[in-house]
Chains A and B, each alone.
Chain A
Amino acid sequence: GNSVTQMEGPVTLSEEAFLTINCTYTATGYPSLFWYVQYPGEGLQLLLKATKADDKGSNKGFEATYRKETTSFHLEKGSVQVSDSAVYFCALRTPGAGSYQLTFGKGTKLSVIP
């Protein structure tokens, strides 16, 4: 079955530090890959996505590249801000049985300190 493994947290960084959150996946077929972000007390919001191999998703300074050869979709940001403190979820979607459901990783909590 499908699965997503992401870096255990929590992760604490100083403002302007470089961020990497690792994500690897197992899936049949050709999944689409997503990063969602959850700010405190809120639901999940789509951060970025990639739908085929070598695609790069980007948004708000965050980037992730769909690497089929390593089955990875690592999230990166060059300079984090305090406002980036949140929980980040890697997810995949493979069409099947009409559900188009998402399979999520367990989430990585990021705290950015001034």
Chain B
Amino acid sequence: NAGVTQTPKFRVLKTGQSMTLLCAQDMNHEYMYWYRQDPGMGLRLIHYSVGEGTTAKGEVPDGYNVSRLKKQNFLLGLESAAPSQTSVYFCASSPLPGSNQPQHFGDGTRLSIL
């Protein structure tokens, strides 16, 4: 019953450092998403993927890159971290459209940029 697993759960970076957040899902879902959650802002979509090998920009993509080399994994990269990227990051997945199934979320990665 793993569902959506995010690693790491916590991380502290210095400005300018790079890192990759990993999201893995074991539900064979086609769609995967990365969101950031900031106080008073709700969740905002960073990037998403509609299938292996495809990615697309969401609402707030600047400063982030993503890759979906395998269907079950969706990676979020920060090439040069900035304090404005301090946030809680959530990954989600969902099956093909038309199934009317909801998005399933991971437990989040809390990232602090100093």
Contact = CB atoms under 8 A, between A and B. Distances in A.
A43 B90 contact: yes
Contacts of B33: 101
Nearest to B49: A99
Interface string B88-113: 00101010010010110111100000
B100 A44 contact: no
A42 B41 contact: no
Contacts, number: 51
Interface residues of B, number: 24
Secondary structure of the B contact surface, majority rule: strand
A42 B109 CA distance: 10
B51 to A, nearest CB: 9
Contact of B41 (A36, A45, A49, A106): A106
B66 interface: no
B4 interface: yes
A98 interface: yes
B58 interface: yes
Interface of B: 4, 31, 33, 40-45, 48, 50, 56, 58, 90, 92, 94, 97, 100, 102-103, 105-108
